[in-house]
Amino acid sequence: MKAEVSKAKIILHIVLLVSLGFFNSGGVLAVNMTIPNTLIRGSVGGEALLSVRYMSFSLDLPVIKWQLKKEKSVTVVQSIGTDIIGTLRPEYRDRILVFENGTLLLHNLRLSDDGIYDVEISITDDIFTGEGSITLTVDEPITRPYIHMEASSVLELTENVVLNCSHDNGTRTTYKWFKGRKQLTNETRFVMSPDQKLLTIIRVLMADDDIYTCIVENPVGNMTSLPIRLTVYRRSSLYIILSTGGIFLLVTLVTVCACWTPSKKSRQPPRKPLSRLYNHSHPSPISHRDDVLLKMSEHNGKTAVTSLYVLQQKIPHMDDSSSNRSGSPSDSTMYYSSSPNHTISLCQVTTPPSCSSHRCT
């Protein structure tokens, strides 16, 4: 009797073990689904492949359903095999592709696609449905990182310097600071903001004179900014530079003032007014180089002088002593006289004495 009871227990244990084996293997009781990667990273405008695999002994097509978890679950797509059921939401049209093994491909990613995606695969002959989740992150690539600094040169021990690492685009960014090739961390004199975007150097020292760079990172890439140079001056060096610059400026001004002369414009001798007519008893010397213009008119059949124009008159300087001795004008002096018949004759006295004794006719 005891032997029969023990045999029944053994048979029951064997049946339970076999049933448990079929359940775990997913033979006819459940869909066995695996997910190679539960975290997928994508960039705006790119693609994301949410990959899954399932196993089932049933030959029926699987029913695949993808949902996006947000404030409430939103159905992304539902299909029987690769045939989509129903109408897609407007934001997913022409951007969805479902494969036979349940994998989902998203085209032209947007920031709104970021989130957790739940997938369910069910087959009619299977009792249990295969389930899984994949996290998708969508970010903007980083572009043009640079460092902004108020002043590139400072005086030691008196000023604090703030370096700001900025960039044009990029989401979920993190920052790293480097002095030369050494990465900086929060220390007594190097203080970083909570997001490490700002680096503050307290009471700058001469040892801080170096090249600084920052690296901007996010889930889809990283970029390094252009290096920036921080120059630190000693107090004595600054005074020497200022005094030297002042002396150089002073010497330059003195040199310019000494070499500068006002421009001289060519001056023409002024035209002298018309001299009054002299009578024959008081002759006036006129240079032979002067231009004399006589305007004649007829009066009672006789020619008379109506006006005399002197275009240019230049009275030469005469030596008083020589004029007193000789009692005669200089050699190139011209005289004019008038006669009762209203005619004018000009005579140029020349050097030979023979001409000076004759009357001008």
The whole-angstrom separation of Cα 345 and Cα 305 is 11
Q: DSSP E strands: which ranges in 128-235?
A: 130-139, 146-149, 153-155, 161-166, 174-179, 182-183, 190-192, 198-201, 210-218, 221-224, 228-233
Least confident among 62-76, 242-256, 286-300: 286-300
pLDDT (tens digit, 9 = 90+) per residue, 134-165?
A: 999 999 999 999 999 988 888 888 778 999 99
Which are the contacts of 169, defined by CB distance < 8 A and separation ≥ 6?
A: 140, 141, 142, 143, 144
Whether 4 has a pLDDT exceeding 90, the answer reads no
Residue 22: pLDDT band (50, 70, 90) is very low
**Mean pLDDT to the nearest integer, 291-298:** 45
Whether 291 has a pLDDT exceeding 70, the answer reads no
Q: Single out the residue of 295, 286, 340 nearest to residue 313, CA to CA.
A: 286
- 8 Å CB contact between 162 and 149: yes
**83 or 357: whose pLDDT is higher?**
83
Quick one: pLDDT at residue 110?
95
Quick one: pLDDT at residue 134?
96
Residue 262: pLDDT band (50, 70, 90) is low
- 8 Å CB contact between 66 and 74: no
Please, what is the average pLDDT of the chain?
Answer: 74
- 8 Å CB contact between 130 and 34: no
Residue 264: pLDDT band (50, 70, 90) is low
**Mean pLDDT to the nearest integer, 174-191:** 92
Quick one: pLDDT at residue 227?
94
CATH homologous superfamily for the domain 146-235: Immunoglobulins (2.60.40.10)
Quick one: pLDDT at residue 66?
96
**Mean pLDDT to the nearest integer, 326-351:** 42
- 8 Å CB contact between 224 and 145: yes
Whether 62 has a pLDDT exceeding 80, the answer reads yes
Quick one: pLDDT at residue 179?
95
**Mean pLDDT to the nearest integer, 94-103:** 93
**Mean pLDDT to the nearest integer, 253-274:** 62
Whether 294 has a pLDDT exceeding 50, the answer reads no
**14 or 236: whose pLDDT is higher?**
236
Whether 12 has a pLDDT exceeding 80, the answer reads no
Whether 122 has a pLDDT exceeding 80, the answer reads yes
For 277, the 3-state DSSP assignment is coil
**Strand 221-224 and strand 210-218: pairing?**
antiparallel
- Percent of the chain exceeding pLDDT 90 equals 44
Residue 1: pLDDT band (50, 70, 90) is very low
**256 or 27: whose pLDDT is higher?**
256
Domain 28-139 identical in fold to domain 146-235 = yes
Whether 352 has a pLDDT exceeding 50, the answer reads no
Quick one: pLDDT at residue 157?
84
HSE toward the beta carbon, residue 92, CA cutoff 13 A: 20
Residue 238: pLDDT band (50, 70, 90) is low
Structural domain spans, the chain: 28-139, 146-235, 286-356
Quick one: pLDDT at residue 240?
57
Quick one: pLDDT at residue 31?
87
pTM to 2 decimal places = 0.56
Whether 290 has a pLDDT exceeding 50, the answer reads no
CATH code linked to domain 28-139 = 2.60.40.10
Residues β-bridged to residue 224: 215
Whether 314 has a pLDDT exceeding 90, the answer reads no
